[in-house]
Amino acid sequence: MLEAIRDRSKGVVAKVILAGITIPFALVGVDSYLRDAGSSVSVAKVGGDSITAQEYSNALQNLRNRLQSEGKVDQSVLDGPEVKQAVIDHLIENKVLAAEIKRKNFVISDEQLSHFITGEDIFQQDGRFSQELYDQFLTERRRTPSQFENEVRGDLLAMQAKDGLAALAFVPNGVANNAIKVEHQTREVSIAEFKTADFLSQVNASEEEVKAYYNEHQDKFKVPEQVKLEFVLMSANGLIPSQQVSEQEARDYYAQNAAQFQGDEQRRASHILISFGVSPTPEAKKQAKEKAEEVWAQVKKDPEQFEQLAHQYSQDPGSKDKGGDLGLFGPGAMVKPFEDAVFSMKPGTISDLVETDFGYHIIKLTEIQGSGQSFDAVQGQIRAELMYQKALAKFSEQAENFSNMVYEQSDSLEPVAKEFGVQVQTSAWLSRDEGAKFFKNDKLMDAVFSDEVLKEKRNTEAIEVSPNNLVSARVAEYKPAAARSYEEVKSGIADFLKQEKAAKLAREKGEATLAELQAGKSPALSWTEPVNVSRQDPQNLTDLSVSTAFRADTVKLPAYSGIADRNGYLVAKVSSIHFAMDGEDAQRAAKAELQNALAAEYRHAYINTLKQKEKITVNSQLLNSDQTNP
């Protein structure tokens, strides 16, 4: 059941910098060539909380691993936008749910938590909770009791918040039976179409009609007001080339993050654990350390006795009987102090005492499989990361001064450009909508078209158009909205009017034919070959054809239904009906499926409501770049 909770809470579904960087390129956010830098940059923000690129990358890789383990190995699917969107949607859902839990003070009491854990089958022995099984479970998963209990509490809180409303979902038997009957029905369907294109030769648009339409719809032919802008951009990326990183800084980073650079490398280690228990007192820790130092001295005196000493002294029930052997593991499998020690050791060596939440460890590295990345191999990547971090820090230092200067010296952008070493750039002619697309920001264009900027010729305030990118703009030239001339648009109007007339003829012909059919007559029609379709299996019919067929009143067969669309008029004929649900078990399963679907809809609506309470922004450029791909 614990695994089921995990699945529900997590859902189904990290080079050397180029010598130069142009300012316009920085508009898109983190540069694509900076593939391994900025792993802490936000992919999305939910209220005041961020979803980092690293968090997204880890979740994406986890989902891909799960899909591959289920036999879904089509790389185009694994790399597709649907998988990426599913991951970011799930992470956002977790954030808004966590905010609601905090806002509404959802509570799982210690008694409820204890009752849940002690009732789990995995911890039962002879029908009773086993502390030994519980301790072994925690040790095998490298979790302290408080870590595990906090995880379970979080899962239960999420279930309480999300599933409480869904539990109210109820479908009456009568409604369920009718819904199932329709949902699992198969209809034999043929289609006849009256296409707009077939009627174009029968219509025309006179000069008078075209002119009249032009005169009556002037608003449709207006060119919106436009501006040509001067703007400056201060970007964290623009500061990257000026940042310096020494070799020693890079080496320090490599040493501090050793596990990050292990690639597919796995290591095998043994350990002797001297535990000091949960929430230890200073005296308990002191006693444990003294004992650990005692054992460590014996190990150092005779390393060949490591296995025997592990049998004798180790308090890790999962490994002591194996001479302390923990087997092969990769980065991320152990708690950080333990992992940092293991991945900094050479085979055959024994560590000093390593303290974790479990106690004091004496570690022996016994084997290395696979290959890690040497410092030389990742030096460029590390320098890029550190340069990016320094650029972010510099950007934060300068952002306020930049904002103040464009406001205080609002009659020109030259002073701020000179002060911060950025370029004053000039845009092409832009409407409000075109400008919002160019800068990927509506707020900036709202400021540009304000009276203060447009009429008083002032700079806009400094606006963050994307994470770590500040822009200020001013209007260089302005064109008011104006109507396009009749000569420019008359051809397009004529084509539009002909399409409208032809569509009307097709609709009238289709409606008249449908009336004849429903009256029992047999007008000459070109029907498609009949096919048996269901809502789940449309065969080769379009969604519109299937939905039209299922709208037909089938009290009397054959039954007919029609609908107008942009292509003309469509008539569907239903010749026979079959109910595909056989047996009581199948019907019960269908009702359960319907109930679950309604509950899922309740949950979906609830999450959408929570999303409306939060300001959610997604860095689409970064989300779709290679940087977030594992």
Q: How confident is the model at residue 49 (pLDDT cuts 50, 70, 90)?
A: confident
pLDDT of residue 156: 83
pLDDT of residue 1: 25
Q: Is 143 helix (H, G, I), strand (E, B) or coil?
A: coil
Please give the structure tokens belonging to residue 209. 């009609």
Q: What is the pLDDT of residue 493?
A: 94
| Predicted confidence (pLDDT) at residue 445 exceeds the cutoff of 90 | yes
Angle between helix axes 247-256 and 375-408 (nearest 10 degrees) is: 110
Q: Cα–Cα distance between 98 and 151 in angstroms, integer? A: 13
Q: pLDDT at position 504, please?
A: 96
pLDDT of 281 over the 80 cut: yes
Span 604-623, average pLDDT: 78
Higher-scoring residue by pLDDT: 606, 451: 451
Other CB atoms within 10 Å distance of the CB of residue 41: 22
The per-residue pLDDT for 612 is: 83
Region of 71 (left: φ > 0; alpha: ψ -120 to 50; beta: rest) is: left
The pLDDT value given to residue 270: 95
Q: Which one is predicted more confidently, 5 or 10? A: 10
Would the pTM count as exceeding 0.85? no
What backbone torsions phi and psi does residue 424 show, to the nearest 5 degrees? Answer: -90, 115
Distances (CA, A) of 472 to 235, 412, 448, 565: 12, 10, 9, 47
Task: Specify the pLDDT at position 105.
Answer: 80
Return the pLDDT at 283. 92
The proportion of the chain whose per-residue pLDDT surpasses 90, expressed as a percent, equals 43
- Looking at the predicted structure, is the pLDDT value of residue 629 above 60? no
What value does the mean pLDDT take over residues 542-556? 92
Q: Distance from CA of residue 84 to its chain's centroid?
A: 6
582-605 pLDDT, tens digit each: 666 666 666 666 666 667 777 777
pLDDT greater than 50 at residue 17: no
In which band, very low, low, confident or very high, does the pLDDT at 573 lie, cut at 50, 70 and 90?
very high
What's the rounded mean pLDDT across residues 18-41? 33
Tell me the per-residue pLDDT of 171-206, one tens digit each, with 9 for 90 and over: 666 655 666 666 778 899 999 999 999 999 999 999
Confidence of residue 372 (pLDDT cuts 50, 70, 90): low
pLDDT digits (tens, 9 = 90+) for 142-165: 677 877 888 888 888 877 777 666
